[in-house]
C-alpha cells in the first residue's frame, strides 16, 4: 500500500485537510495491524527503525520543549503539540514532502506533484479538474492494480454503492481525453466488466516507451501520549 499513512486518535478531519492539498492519507493499521497508536519513547525508536518514510509526532498539549527534543532525537522528522490546527499540520507535512522529494509520485512518463497538484506526462502539463485529479491520483496510488467501479466510486466520491449514474464514465472519459489521447499509447486500460487499471509502460512502444517507475515513499503521523 502506498501513500501517506496516519496513526491518530483525535483528528477526524485531518485526512480531509490533507486531501485538500492533494495528499492521500490512509490508516497505518491497514499496513501494520496491531501497531500501538500512541507509542512511548521506546516504541518511537522501534517505529523509526521500521518505518522508511517521514514521521511526524503529535505531543500532548502540555508537552514541554524537552518532550519535543526527545521526540526529534528519537527519530521524528517533526513534533508539534496536540493544539496545533489541522491546517498547520497539513502544511508542515506538505513542506517536509517538498523538501524530501516525496511530494512527487513518478510512474513511468507520469509525474504527479501531490503538494502543488501538478500533473505532467512526458513533460507535458495536464490541466485537470479537481475530480479528474483525484481520480488519476487514486489510480497512481495503485499502479497496475485492477480497480472496480465500486472501488473508484468509494475512493473518489465517497459513495458506498453505485448511484446508477454515469458520473464515473463521464470523468474517466474527460481524464482519458487529457491523459491518453494526445499520446501514442494509453495509460488507463479497461478490463471489460471488471474495472480499470493504470499501466505506465508498454512493451514495444519504441520512442514512446516510458521511463522506469519510481517508488513513492510514505509518511507517518504518530500520536505520542
In tens, the pLDDT along 56-91 reads 777 888 888 888 888 888 777 788 888 889 999 888
**Is pLDDT of 123 > 70?**
yes
What does 30-79 look like in DSSP terms, one character per residue? GTSTT--SS--HHHHHHHHHH--SEEEEEEPTT--HHHHHHHHHTT-SEE
What's the pLDDT score for residue 139?
Answer: 93
**Is pLDDT of 27 > 80?**
no
Q: What DSSP element (H or E) covers 197? A: strand 195-198
How many angstroms separate the CA atoms of 131 and 155, rounded? Answer: 11
What's the pLDDT score for residue 104?
Answer: 78
pLDDT band with cut points at 50, 70 and 90 for residue 160: confident
How many angstroms separate the CA atoms of 130 and 107, rounded? Answer: 20
Q: What is the pTM of this model?
A: 0.52
How many angstroms separate the CA atoms of 203 and 101, rounded? Answer: 29
**Is pLDDT of 212 > 70?**
no
Amino acid at each position: 500500500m502506498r501513500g501517506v499513512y496516519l496513526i491518530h486518535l483525535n483528528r477526524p478531519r485531518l485526512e480531509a485537510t490533507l486531501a485538500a492539498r492533494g495528499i492521500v492519507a490512509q490508516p497505518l493499521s491497514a499496513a501494520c495491524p496491531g501497531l500501538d497508536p500512541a507509542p512511548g519513547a521506546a516504541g518511537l525508536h522501534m517505529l523509526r527503525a521500521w518505518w522508511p518514510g517521514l514521521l511526524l509526532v503529535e505531543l500532548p498539549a502540555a508537552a514541554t520543549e524537552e518532550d519535543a527534543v526527545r521526540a526529534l532525537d528519537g527519530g521524528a522528522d517533526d513534533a508539534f503539540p496536540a493544539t496545533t490546527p489541522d491546517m498547520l499540520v497539513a502544511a508542515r507535512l506538505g513542506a517536509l514532502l517538498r523538501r524530501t522529494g516525496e511530494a512527487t509520485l513518478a510512474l513511468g512518463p507520469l509525474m504527479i506533484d501531490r503538494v502543488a497538484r501538478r500533473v505532467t506526462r512526458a513533460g507535458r502539463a495536464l490541466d485537470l479538474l479537481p475530480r479528474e485529479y483525484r481520480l488519476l491520483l487514486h489510480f497512481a496510488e495503485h499502479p497496475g492494480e485492477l480497480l472496480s467501479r465500486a472501488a473508484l466510486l468509494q475512493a473518489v466520491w465517497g459513495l458506498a454503492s453505485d448511484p446508477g449514474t454515469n458520473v464515473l464514465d463521464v470523468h474517466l472519459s474527460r481524464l482519458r481525453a487529457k491523459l491518453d489521447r494526445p499520446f501514442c499509447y494509453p495509460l488507463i486500460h479497461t478490463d471489460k466488466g471488471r474495472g480499470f487499471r493504470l499501466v505506465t509502460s508498454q512493451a514495444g512502444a519504441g520512442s514512446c516507451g516510458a521511463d522506469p517507475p519510481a517508488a513513492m515513499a510514505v509518511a507517518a503521523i504518530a500520536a505520542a501520549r
